[in-house]
Amino acid sequence: MRSSWLPALLVGGALLVSLTACSDSSDVGLGVGSGLQGGNPSTLDVTPDVRDTTVAPITGIRRDSAQGRPPAQSQNQSAWRFLVGSVDDPTPGTGEVTANGYLDFAGRDDLPEDLQNASPDALTAELRLTTDYLHGSSSGTMDVEVYDLTSEADMDSARATASFDAAPSPVSVNGAQINPSDSLVTIQLKASWITGNIGTLLRTGSDFEEAFSGFKIVAPNSEAVVGFSSSTAALRLRTVSSSNDTTTADYPSLKTFTHIERTGAGDPPPGYRLMQGGVGKGLAMEWAFRDSPLDTLESAPLNQANIFVPNDTSALETSSDFERPQPQGYRIIATRSSGAPSCSAFRSAVLSVANEACVLPLDPDAAPRAALVQDNVARPTFQQSLQRVRDDQSPVFTTFRVHIADRESTDINEAATFRPGLPTTLPVLVPVDGTEPGPPRATLTVTPL
């Protein structure tokens, strides 16, 4: 069977029409479904108009104040992360990306008596962070600094361009460092910070949350961006008794956020367009239904369809000590035309309150090599679009925006649910202008009349 990742050649982004009869579903390309109708089916790869688009992604989240557990309606928040550091990816066009992390904690139900009765100078405090992402140099250590936020920060659903005010002096110990390759890192806080905040630290529940504003974490002069799990981040308070017994209490994470900036970005390699996480750089695609070849299909039965946006993983430059994970998923957001069928008609999740944008379910097995909308969604989208255009209406969707989500996409066989993409700084190179494995396209199989 032909590989679903080796499409028919496209020269200059032009249409390719295969007039070979398809008796085997492997001949229709790109892994679309089976069940061809009669006749002599033809496969068409139709390329859209593609342009760059930038939408700052959501990088903030609030967790349930009850011991930092994710709310029941959003269990996927347990996989959330925040980013710290800077990376200058060798891939042309990416520039230098800098991420600052923000972190706030939930109050505890109670504190051990030994901690309540300990004097401030008998206490130590540290941030305990679990690493789950590394983009950049994997060698050496990173300097880190922690700053107090000056007021309560509304991190929930905040976008990467937001920022929150912090005090001018770090509260972490001088020379604090972490090893980004470690699974668990700790950042010690100054004794003076404990003394100045002892009244807040001894509070519990919502009293603590109202009095404590959180931290900003930066990694000056770093050569990597490190991601920390939001669900396992903790502020640990510790004391050691005269008998060397250690008592600890962890304040679990409540809110996290990542502010991301990019500088010095140039052009991507020739023959490619760049998508980049964190800064929200993606692609916008539009199909010309009133132009050839779509305007020539008339009422020919549409047997199969998919939408395919490739990622040329082999084109990314790297070195032996440079870490760059592959994105685990993508998102395609389609802008709905006025009067078009609802998102649910295409098994898609509603993104906007006015039902103006739909999050299309993607095949999770296609990542990282591609964002793939399979036949179950792509075929009715094109069928109804062709019919609407014949009736002098707009197609179902005017624009398809593609972004890196870095989490498994919603399975085509499941009900579509909207999940924000995990914060990331990863680049993706999408071929254009005939570069293999071919440009973004819709693959349509029709039976000529």
Are 41 and 181 in a shared domain?
no
> According to the model, what pLDDT value does residue 351 have?
80
Judge contact between 266 and 89, C-beta under 8 A. no
Q: What is the distance between the terminal CA atoms of the chain, rounded to a whole angstrom?
A: 28
**Model confidence band, residue 127 (pLDDT cutoffs 50, 70, 90):** very high
Instruction: Say whether pLDDT at 299 is over 80.
Output: no
> According to the model, what pLDDT value does residue 250 have?
98
Tell me the one-letter amino acid at 129.
L
In a domain, 144, yes or no: yes
Question: Do the strands 281-286 and 49-54 form a parallel or antiparallel pair, or are they unpaired?
Answer: antiparallel
Judge contact between 258 and 85, C-beta under 8 A. no
Are 143 and 72 in a shared domain?
yes
> According to the model, what pLDDT value does residue 352 have?
72
In a domain, 7, yes or no: no
367 or 64, which is more confident?
Answer: 367
Please report which helix (H) or strand (E) contains residue 367, including its range: none
Give the separation between CA 285 and CA 309, rounded to whole angstroms: 10
Domain that holds residue 189: 61-263
Instruction: Say whether pLDDT at 73 is over 70.
Output: no
In a domain, 268, yes or no: no
Q: What is the mean pLDDT of residues 10-27?
A: 33
In a domain, 381, yes or no: yes
Alpha helices in 335-395, H assignment, sequence order: 375-390
In a domain, 312, yes or no: yes
Tell me the one-letter amino acid at 329.
G
> According to the model, what pLDDT value does residue 108 have?
96
> According to the model, what pLDDT value does residue 421 have?
86
Query: What is the per-residue pLDDT across 309-365, written as a single tens digit (0 to 9) for each?
Result: 999 999 997 888 899 999 999 999 999 999 999 998 998 888 876 778 999 999 999
Give the separation between CA 172 and CA 147, rounded to whole angstroms: 7
Are 365 and 428 in a shared domain?
yes
> According to the model, what pLDDT value does residue 353 have?
64
> According to the model, what pLDDT value does residue 10 have?
33
Measured in degrees and rounded to the nearest 5, phi and psi for residue 379 equal: -65, -50
Average pLDDT of the chain, as a whole number: 86
> According to the model, what pLDDT value does residue 30 have?
39
Specify the number of domains making up the chain. Answer: 2
Residues making up the chain, counted from first to last: 449
Query: What is the per-residue pLDDT across 419-432, written as a single tens digit (0 to 9) for each?
Result: 678 999 999 999 99
Range list of β-strands (E), 277-341:
281-286, 302-310, 322-323, 330-336
Query: What is the per-residue pLDDT across 387-408, written as a single tens digit (0 to 9) for each?
Result: 999 999 999 999 999 999 998 7
Q: Answer with the one of 205, 230, 263 that is the final residue of a domain.
A: 263
Give the separation between CA 286 and CA 50, rounded to whole angstroms: 7
Task: Copy the structure tokens of residue 400.
Answer: 């398809």
Alpha helices in 179-310, H assignment, sequence order: 191-201, 205-211
Q: What is the CA radius of gyration of the chain?
A: 26
Judge contact between 60 and 156, C-beta under 8 A. yes
User: Angle 346-351-356 (CA atoms, 0-180°, nearest 5)?
Assistant: 75
In a domain, 3, yes or no: no
Give the separation between CA 68 and CA 78, rounded to whole angstroms: 9
**Model confidence band, residue 174 (pLDDT cutoffs 50, 70, 90):** very high
Are 50 and 67 in a shared domain?
no
Instruction: Say whether pLDDT at 91 is over 70.
Output: yes
Q: What is the mean pLDDT of residues 251-262?
A: 97
Alpha helices in 62-125, H assignment, sequence order: 113-117
> According to the model, what pLDDT value does residue 3 have?
35
In a domain, 146, yes or no: yes
Are 226 and 310 in a shared domain?
no
User: Angle 401-402-404 (CA atoms, 0-180°, nearest 5)?
Assistant: 140
> According to the model, what pLDDT value does residue 78 have?
57
In a domain, 273, yes or no: no
